[in-house]
Amino acid sequence: MKSLLLAWHNVMRNRRRSLVTILIATLGTASILVAGGFALYTYESLREGSAREVGHVTIAHKDYFEKDEETPLQLGLEGYGELVRTLEQDPRVRRVLPRVSLSGLVSNGDKSMIFMGIGADLAAEAAVRGPFLKLVDGSLVDGDRDNGLPRVLLGVDLARSLNARPGSTLTLLSTTTSGSMNAIDAEVAGIISTGWREVDKRLVYTGLRTAQRLLATDRASTLAVFLHDTALTPEMQQALAARDPNHVYKPWWELSNYYVSVRDLYNRIFGLLGVIISALVFFSVANTLTMAVVERTREIGTLRALGALPREIVAEFMHEGTLIGGIGAALGILGAGGMTLALLFLDIRMPPPPGRSDDYPLQIYADPVLYIATVLSIILLCALAAWIASRRAASKPIVEALGHV
């Protein structure tokens, strides 16, 4: 306690210079916490969006991702009903959705477009994808029905190209599992947006039975396993692989290249930003304490003459650096925390990332690990700067130090 009081007294000898240095440490701490919290929020949003799009774990034929299919669903799953019922009894599992991947042409009678389709339970898809599947117009209903035309959902850009709206009738044309052509008429139930422009230009959602009827099969391309908690994905993948090695089990991140590329990009950007801010804080504190050391060289010589060891003098300056870093870090936490709380009440939107069409709210995560790591880093940087600034002066010969002007 006595050493801290002495350090505070020495820091306040030149208040203006010390307060500027503390301000820099404060801004550095707050900047790192805000930038890191924003990156964590972005990672979490992308992680949840990617996992809900493809499924936390995707089950497929063992060769599905390695070989090209000569005909649709050549490597599809047969007799998957029992597996679905078994998996849905697992308390970690929210839903298991069979999906059929298909492609072909969709026509409004005047214009035809290539489509990339997904056959699934439309209501269940909307439930598991939540806010990551946005209904633009119409309704999210079951695409399969016994009476009347089957219903489909169109990506917003595809609907615009076909001039389609809820209630419009379209024709879907695709190749069956035997290699022949098949077509069905369908009614547009709703217009949706996934937030991905390239996807929305081609996307058609059909009911599972509708897709199977179009392809003349009872197989499914994959089973998408949705969990209650994304963090359980590795555990679930390992459990499934151990239970049945005859299928392949892909975690969501292996099927979402966008998430990996954006995460790596943000890691580089915010990593470089952190290095720049840390260097700014380091050199600011080093400059302040170097000037203090120069001004107090004769005092250092006096202390040496009275028996103080060089390491004791260096330790005193390190206490001063630690105090500057600690005060700056504490004030930085208050600033970052205040900004985090303010953004909860302010509707500030960020522009869409590359390739996306939807903006997203500016939010900052207050992660305890990030806060602790940042505070310790700032304090250690300030202590290191003090050590570098003082060690040479503390080792000067006593006579030279006393004669300093």
**Number of folded domains in the chain?**
2
pLDDT value at position 203?
A: 92
pLDDT band at 72 (very low <50, low <70, confident <90, very high): confident
- What pLDDT, on the 0 to 100 scale, is given for residue 143? 63
Q: For residues 267 and 371, state if they share a domain.
A: yes
Burial 36-57 (b: 16+ CB within 10 A, else e): bbbbbbbbebbbbbbbbbbbbb
Cβ-count burial of 210 within 10 angstroms (0-12 exposed, 13-18 middle, 19+ buried)? Answer: buried
Judge if 186 and 110 occupy the same domain. Answer: yes
**Average pLDDT, stretch 149-163?**
91
User: What percent of the chain lies above the pLDDT cut of 90?
Assistant: 26
Whether 69 and 39 map to the same domain: the answer is no
Residues 309-323: tens digit of each pLDDT: 778 778 887 888 888
Residues 6+ apart with CB under 8 A from 370: 33, 36, 37, 40
Contacts of 35 (CB under 8 A, 6+ apart): 270, 273, 274
**pLDDT tens for residues 162-212?**
999 998 999 999 998 888 899 999 999 999 988 778 888 999 999 899 999
- Reported as a single tens digit per residue, the pLDDT across 74-119 is 888 888 888 899 999 999 999 999 999 999 999 988 899 999 999 9
Per-residue confidence at 281, pLDDT binned at 50, 70, 90? Answer: confident
Do 323 and 394 sit in the same domain of this protein?
A: yes
Q: Are residues 228 and 265 in the same domain?
A: no
pLDDT of res. 2 = 64
pLDDT of residue 123: 83
Taking the CB of residue 241, how many other CB atoms lie within 10 A of it? 13
State whether 236 and 340 are in the same domain.
no
* pTM for the predicted model, two decimal places: 0.76
**pLDDT at 270 exceeding the cut of 90:** no
**pLDDT by residue (tens digit) across 23-54?**
888 888 898 898 888 888 888 888 888 888 88
Mean pLDDT value across the chain? 84
**Average of per-residue pLDDT across 252-265:** 81
User: What are phi and psi for residue 157, nearest 5 degrees?
Assistant: -75, -35
Beta strands in 41-131 (DSSP E): 57-61, 93-107, 112-119
Reading the block at residue 378, the tokens are: 């700032």
pLDDT for the residue numbered 3: 67
pLDDT the model gives residue 224: 93
- How distant, in Å, are the alpha carbons of 13, 126, 133, 356 from that of 141? 73, 9, 14, 25
Task: Give the residue numbers spanning the domain of 194.
Answer: 63-245
Is there a single domain that holds both residue 28 and residue 68?
A: no
**231 and 304, same domain (yes or no):** no
Domain identity same for 70 and 136: yes
Domain contains 55: no
Q: What confidence tier does 384 reach under pLDDT thresholds 50, 70, 90?
A: confident
* C-beta neighbour count of 110 within 10 angstroms: 7
Q: What is the pLDDT of residue 296?
A: 72
